[in-house]
Amino acid sequence: MSYDVSGDPRAQLLQRLASKTATIGIIGMGYVGLPLILRFSEVGFRTIGFDNDLAKVVKLNRGESYIKHIPAAGIAQARANGFEATSDYSRCREADAIIICVPTPLNRHREPDLSFVVNTTDAIIPHLRRGQIVSLESTTYPGTTEEELLPRMQAANLEVGKDVFLVFSPEREDPGNPKFTTRTIPKICGGVTPQCLEVGVALYSWAVDKVVAVSSTRAAEMSKLLENIHRAVNIGLVNEMKIIADRMEIDIYEVIRAAATKPFGFVPYFPGPGLGGHCIPIDPFYLTWKAKEYGVHTRFIELAGEVNSAMPEWVVGKVMDALNERKTTLNGARVLVLGVAYKKNIDDSRETPSAELIKLLQEKGADVDYSDPHIPTFPTMRKYKFEMKSIELTPQTLSAYDCVLLATDHDAFDYKLIKQHAVLIVDTRGVYGDAADNVVKA
């Protein structure tokens, strides 16, 4: 497709995207930004990755990976295609598209922390020029794009929708899930103006098979929150059902499997030791915070948050009860936590409930170790700091612990070996379906 590009920044940008002569810059080379930039490189665009972490920049420029499910071969191929990483934001001027993929955590008061988004925007503003598109992918409350990014771009004497273009397109990554890739997951996109949306769709259509256009950035922002709140609420429901079933001596996993045979009207969700990952434990609170501005109290969402947040304490209570039944106290007991990634088969420990489990166990006097084949050293976190390294699972190590707490059900664990040699297993993931004297479900 060709465009009349005479003096028209929109047409010029669309033409560069159509001909793949545009340069794509992505800020934040993490679990979202890195696979996305590899995808743009794969389809033939020149790409620049921005990150404040110099160690990441060095590794990427060497063609090395620091994320387990992203192979180094993919990065090496991108490097051969012209991809480079940098911490120099002045190079944003080279990019025709600037995509922001930075964290949006909560502060200690469980309120939105937009400092990464705001600081990144302030860093790129001096280097913006006519004919660029800026896309925010970081999950946030409705209104962020228009309230935080738009005024800053306007203050740079750039007319959004004419000189430059601004969209919100929420990330949709499921690390470690081989069924879905950056290409195959549909991409929602909302623009500040219709012209912005047109450019945004043109940009993302190269990277993904299906772009879903919505009427505004606010609708796009809300859609992402609804996706994750839907999961958080349903997980909260099934976690509460787990507690009820436990009191009634009913296997909640058997109940879920039975209910899932209904071919309509039911979607199975499974309980666990608490919520993990960057999205589900955090995103609902972005909406509850913003809703207060409109006089709305999000009781349903907050109740689910309370149930899910209480799960680590409930699990530790089950550990204490199981030890008591075996004439052992948690104070002084040796406990091995299996899995510190927030979900199976990945090396991502962001917001992992295992961290809270370890803290609670230690506070009650337990001597705690962990084993995780994907995370050899416990990472430093904002709320937690454990000087720990992963323990190798052998018959000798397993039998040396008073309790093995199964927190993350990695496929790499030898569950037969664990069951054979562990004195006591507290299973929070329903791995052990059959009754056994040394297995307690939590």
Residue 150 has pLDDT above 80, yes or no: yes
Per-residue pLDDT tens for 45-81? 999 999 999 999 999 999 999 998 899 999 999 999 9
- Show the tokens assigned to 292: 């207060």
Q: What is the mean pLDDT of residues 93-102?
A: 98
Question: Has residue 435 been placed in a domain?
Answer: yes
Q: What's the pLDDT at 4?
A: 55
Question: Has residue 1 been placed in a domain?
Answer: no
User: Does 167 share its domain with 194?
Assistant: yes
Residue 191's pLDDT band, with cuts at 50, 70 and 90, is very high
User: Does 86 share its domain with 196?
Assistant: yes
Q: What is the mean pLDDT of residues 280-301?
A: 92
Q: What is the mean pLDDT of residues 107-119?
A: 92
Q: What's the pLDDT at 434?
A: 77
Strand partners, 24: 47, 97
Residue 120 has pLDDT above 90, yes or no: yes
User: Does 321 share its domain with 283?
Assistant: no
Residue 309 has pLDDT above 60, yes or no: yes
d(CA 387, CA 289): 34
- Residue where a domain stops, chosen among 200, 219, 238: 219
Strand partners, 135: 99, 167
User: Does 72 share its domain with 160?
Assistant: yes
* Total tally of structural domains belonging to the chain: 3
Is 117 within 8 Å of 171 (Cβ atoms)? no
State the alpha helices, DSSP H only, in 292-372: 299-309, 311-325, 353-363
Residue 176 has pLDDT above 80, yes or no: no
Residue 2's pLDDT band, with cuts at 50, 70 and 90, is low
Average pLDDT score, the chain: 95
Sheet holding 334-338, edge to edge: 367-371, 334-338, 403-406, 425-427, 439-441
Q: What is the mean pLDDT of residues 413-434?
A: 95
Is 353 within 8 Å of 274 (Cβ atoms)? yes
Q: What's the pLDDT at 68?
A: 87
User: Does 305 share its domain with 315?
Assistant: no
d(CA 151, CA 164): 13
User: Does 326 share its domain with 363?
Assistant: yes
Contacts of 186 (CB under 8 A, 6+ apart): 172, 208, 209, 210, 211, 212
- Show the tokens assigned to 363: 């506070």
Question: Has residue 4 been placed in a domain?
Answer: no
Contacts of 269 (CB under 8 A, 6+ apart): 231, 234, 235, 237, 238, 256
User: Does 295 share its domain with 373?
Assistant: no
Between residues 181 and 280, the one the model is more confident about:
181
Per-residue pLDDT tens for 363-398? 999 999 999 999 999 998 888 889 999 999 999 999
Domain harbouring 302, CATH code: 1.10.1040.10
Is 107 within 8 Å of 282 (Cβ atoms)? no
Q: What's the pLDDT at 6?
A: 62
- Residue where a domain stops, chosen among 219, 251, 271: 219
User: Does 208 share its domain with 240?
Assistant: no
Q: What's the pLDDT at 110?
A: 84
Is 268 within 8 Å of 256 (Cβ atoms)? yes
User: Does 300 share its domain with 322?
Assistant: no
- Show the tokens assigned to 394: 């052998």
Q: What's the pLDDT at 277?
A: 78
Question: Has residue 3 been placed in a domain?
Answer: no
- Domain hosting 316: range is 310-442
User: Does 241 share its domain with 191?
Assistant: no
Per-residue pLDDT tens for 356-371? 999 999 999 999 999 9
* Percent of the chain residues past pLDDT 70, beyond the cut: 99
Domain harbouring 84, CATH code: 3.40.50.720
217-247 and 252-259 helices, crossing angle to 10°: 130
- Residue where a domain stops, chosen among 288, 309, 330: 309
Contacts of 105 (CB under 8 A, 6+ apart): 113, 116, 278, 282, 382
The verdict on whether 279 is a catalytic residue reads: yes
Q: Which of 92, 101, 189, 279 is catalytic?
A: 279
**Helix, strand, or coil (residue 361):** helix
User: Does 336 share its domain with 440?
Assistant: yes
Question: Has residue 402 been placed in a domain?
Answer: yes
User: Does 321 share its domain with 436?
Assistant: yes
Residue 153 has pLDDT above 70, yes or no: yes
Q: What's the pLDDT at 3?
A: 55
- Show the tokens assigned to 398: 């397993």
Is 190 within 8 Å of 167 (Cβ atoms)? yes
Contacts of 202 (CB under 8 A, 6+ apart): 14, 17, 18
